[in-house]
């Protein structure tokens, strides 16, 4: 079989047998296509150690440069494809021949408490758009939702009375998230002001002259959420490069700094592996500062 046909079978395998999300399949599709475009192989048997090694050099020298973690994602997708071929008894390079390079500690951007307050306070006003933006920002910080999760929410999904609701995250896993009182009030104010009948919790601005719209027409997009967050960050005078995911990082950091245990934070973020959650610990261990203050250079203070 040709690489092209096996590649198509593999994507179908991810969708049906592995039940991967649409986004995951899109990523694998993009990463593997880059390899096939570079290697120009027609047969799996042509994938060799030399081909992969030269491909790694290619990834590392792309302009503009790819982050190390992004390069690793490309290799992980290739390795998983080779594992799939091995299960089908297709002769090719074995997956264990591809070793992942060392990736440095991930840098986490988050907002300090004062910056969070400035950001949330910057969304004010009584128009539908103002109320929507306020509710959106409050919800992101209150729940730590991923932007894709936020955009997929429907009005009926959120229980304002209980102040909690279930959300379907990565890997189709369901978790419960909780609303702070400010987030609950902001959502109530926004929903009560809505005049459209769209099912989406967060909708784009509705234009009265448009009468033949479909339900899906009004649902907000991740790109719109990104623009909203950046707009209010600028309005609040925050010079950091802020994204919707920054509020997710800020949510986790706030919990850990205030004494939450890491297992609980893992559950609230929807992380499958606790090592993913542990990226926050190096910025939240305030006890280290006190130890440094107490024990460092004591002679110089005597």
pLDDT at 101: 76
Q: Is the distance from CB of 141 to CB of 250 less than 8 angstroms?
A: yes
CA distance 56 to 186: 48
Per-residue pLDDT band at 149 (split at 50, 70, 90): very high
SS3 for 41?
coil
| CATH class in words for 113-287 | mainly alpha
HSE at residue 168, side-chain half, CA atoms within 13 A, is 8
Mean confidence (pLDDT) of the chain: 89
Q: Where in the chain is the domain with CATH 1.10.150?
A: 3-97
| CATH class in words for 3-97 | mainly alpha
Catalytic residues: 146, 170, 245, 248, 271, 280
Q: Is the distance from CB of 62 to CB of 46 less than 8 angstroms?
A: no
H or E segment to which residue 167 belongs: strand 164-168
Partnered with residue 166 across adjacent β-strands are 176
Q: Where in the chain is the domain with CATH 1.10.443.10?
A: 113-287
pLDDT at 209: 41
Query: Which one is predicted more confidently, 205 or 176?
Result: 176
Sign of the C-alpha dihedral, residues 13, 18, 21, 27?
negative
Threshold 0.85, pTM exceeds? no
E strands, 66-154, in order: none
Which of the residue ranges 85-99, 104-118, 208-222, 272-286 would you say has the lowest mean pLDDT?
Answer: 208-222
């Amino acid at each position: 079989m040709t690489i092209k046909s096996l590649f198509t079978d593999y994507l179908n395998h991810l969708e049906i047998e592995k039940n991967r999300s649409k986004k995951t399949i899109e990523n694998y599709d993009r990463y593997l296509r880059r390899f096939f475009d570079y290697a120009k192989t027609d047969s799996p048997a042509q994938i060799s150690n030399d081909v992969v090694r030269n491909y790694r050099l290619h990834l590392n020298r792309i302009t503009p440069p790819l982050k190390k973690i992004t390069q690793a994602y490309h290799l992980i997708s290739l390795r998983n494809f080779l594992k799939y071929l091995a299960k089908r008894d297709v002769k090719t390079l074995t997956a264990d021949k591809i070793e992942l390079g060392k990736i440095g500690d991930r840098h986490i951007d988050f907002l300090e408490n004062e910056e969070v307050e400035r950001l949330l306070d910057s969304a004010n006003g009584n128009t539908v758009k103002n109320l929507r933006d306020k509710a959106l920002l409050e919800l992101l910080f209150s729940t730590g939702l991923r932007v894709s999760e936020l955009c997929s929410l429907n009005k009926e999904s959120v229980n304002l009375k209980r102040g909690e609701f279930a959300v379907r995250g990565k890997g189709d896993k369901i978790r419960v998230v909780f609303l702070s009182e400010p987030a609950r009030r902001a959502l109530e104010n926004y929903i009560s002001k809505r005049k459209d009948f769209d099912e989406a919790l967060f909708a784009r601005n509705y234009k009265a002259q448009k009468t033949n719209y479909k339900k899906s027409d009004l649902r907000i997009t991740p790109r719109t959420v990104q623009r909203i967050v950046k707009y209010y960050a600028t309005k609040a005078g925050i010079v950091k490069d802020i994204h919707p995911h920054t509020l997710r990082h800020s949510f986790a950091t706030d919990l850990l700094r205030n004494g939450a245990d890491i297992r609980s934070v893992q559950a609230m973020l929807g992380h499958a592996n606790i090592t993913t959650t542990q990226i926050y610990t190096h910025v939240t261990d305030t006890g280290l500062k006190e130890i440094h203050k107490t024990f460092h250079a004591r002679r110089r203070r005597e």
